[in-house]
Amino acid sequence: MKRLIAVTTRDLRLAVRQGGATFLALVFFVLTVTLFPLGIGPEPTVLARVAPGVLWVAALLAAMLSLDRLFQADFEDGSLEQLALSGLPMGGMVFAKIVAHWLTTGLPLLLASPILAVLLNMNEEGFAALMLTMLIGTPALSLIGAIGAALTLTVRRGGVLLSLLVLPLYIPVLIFGVSAIDAAVHGLNAKPHLLLLGALTLACLPLCPWAASAAVKLSLE
């Protein structure tokens, strides 16, 4: 466990050293959301109606933007192979890197989403649901994205292929996340949508690291 925590800590330190690249997803998220009022107009009613979808779509695209950082840099400099030969369980190592990815991508998106929700004039009833869906759903984005990042590890300029592989798998997260916020905004029970979103994330916890580790092993062979 200590060695797996060390892998996560190492990735966090590397992310901090990279500086601007670390916050690229957050900057993309903020810019994308702030462009919507300029594009569709400042009408408060319209902004409030589209706010849940805009926030979740922007968060999804921002998370996908940073997926190539998961394994690519370590693969190119040989660090990934050294980690694989160190005796660490491959699934545990992959999970540690996913945790680091969420801490540098998903967590900033979670913290920024309420501020941007105010910009989009979201109703107060939807704020709690927004935070819960981001807290539950963004880990699933990192977990599912790890599979795509591992499958395209040896593909030259595989960013487009990565997007095509991952985007359809993100759709259930998007649907349940937006539905929970919409239900809360309209005074309905958001619990069923949150439970489905939580079940999806829980299902990804064991399956995605296992699938991603298998893909990483194939790439290293």
pLDDT for the residue 174 = 94
Cα(67)–Cα(141) distance, integer angstroms:
10
- 91-110 residue pLDDT tens: 888 898 899 889 988 899 99
Average confidence (pLDDT) over 114-126: 89
Assess whether pLDDT exceeds 70 at residue 22.
no
- CB-based burial, 135-166: b 16+ in 10 Å, e otherwise: bbbbbbbbbbbbbbbbbbbeeeebeeebbebb
Torsion angle of C-alpha atoms 190, 52, 127, 195, degrees rounded to 10: 30
> What is the structure's pLDDT at 135?
95
Checking if the pLDDT of 158 tops 80, the result is no
Q: What does the mean pLDDT of the chain come to?
A: 86
